[in-house]
Chain A
Amino acid sequence: NAGVMQNPRHLVRRRGQEARLRCSPMKGHSHVYWYRQLPEEGLKFMVYLQKENIIDESGMPKERFSAEFPKEGPSILRIQQVVRGDSAAYFCASSLLVGDTEAFFGQGTRLTVV
């Protein structure tokens, strides 16, 4: 039973390019959460999605960032026109039920903008 899978593990983008981060939740999980972790800081909530719906995007920057969780396939976090400040580790978590006490995290995607 594979855990939460994120890819790529490492991603390098030049300023102005687009970054696409993928997250496949644990089997049977329909609740996905994205978090961002800047160096030497704790994780910050970005967005919560269920299949085909964004439930809470209160932590998402207003511009350039978007997320989706289609009916089929992984959840995607998309960052357009990346800037140096977007360099961070992006973690995805999933849970079976919305009120589950345990969320399972992936190993993260480390984005470096050069």
Chain B
Amino acid sequence: DAKTTQPNSMESNEEEPVHLPCNHSTISGTDYIHWYRQLPSQGPEYVIHGLTSNVNNRMASLAIAEDRKSSTLILHRATLRDAAVYYCILRPLEAFNKFYFGSGTKLNVKP
């Protein structure tokens, strides 16, 4: 049921920016784009979400393509604590939190 496509894994150096891509070509007009991450042996943690405009918060930035068929999660300065699996998820506006997690992108951060 996952409606998003992400690379299986990515690698980054500490203190450098990281761009995590997500394709969602079948997105509908009322689907929100959510990002969660899961640290080892932990439950998922909310990162950011958006609908049409780019979004920034203390954790990350979300860049959404103009046609909304893709988005990119940006970690401005990766730290070792950012090593996790990052999930890009679509959630319909009217729906409750029934997320389709997919396989996500495993981010490895090198010191």
Residues of A within 8 A of B (CB): 4, 31, 33, 35, 41-45, 48, 55-56, 91, 93, 95, 98-108
Contact = CB atoms under 8 A, between A and B. Distances in A.
B34 A101 contact: yes
B103 A33 contact: no
B99 to A, nearest CB: 7
A55 B96 CA distance: 10
B46 A102 contact: yes
B2 A95 contact: no
Identify the interface centre among A35, A42, A107: most chain B CB within 10 Å of its CB: A42
A42 B103 contact: yes
B97 A95 contact: yes
Given A48-B97, A48-B98, 5 more contacts: A33-B97, A45-B98, A99-B96, A108-B42, A108-B43
B43 A105 contact: yes
Contacts of A95: 96-97
A44 B96 contact: no
B103 A101 contact: no
Interface in B79-103: 87, 93-103
B97 A105 contact: no
Nearest to A93: B97
What 10 A-B pairs have minimum CB-CB distances, sorted nearest first? A105-B43, A42-B101, A103-B97, A43-B101, A102-B46, A98-B96, A105-B44, A91-B43, A45-B98, A42-B102
A108 B38 CA distance: 12
A98 B94 CA distance: 9
20 contacts: A33-B96, A42-B2, A42-B87, A42-B102, A43-B99, A45-B100, A56-B98, A91-B44, A93-B44, A95-B96, A99-B93, A99-B95, A99-B96, A101-B32, A101-B49, A102-B46, A103-B46, A104-B46, A105-B45, A108-B43
Nearest to B34: A101
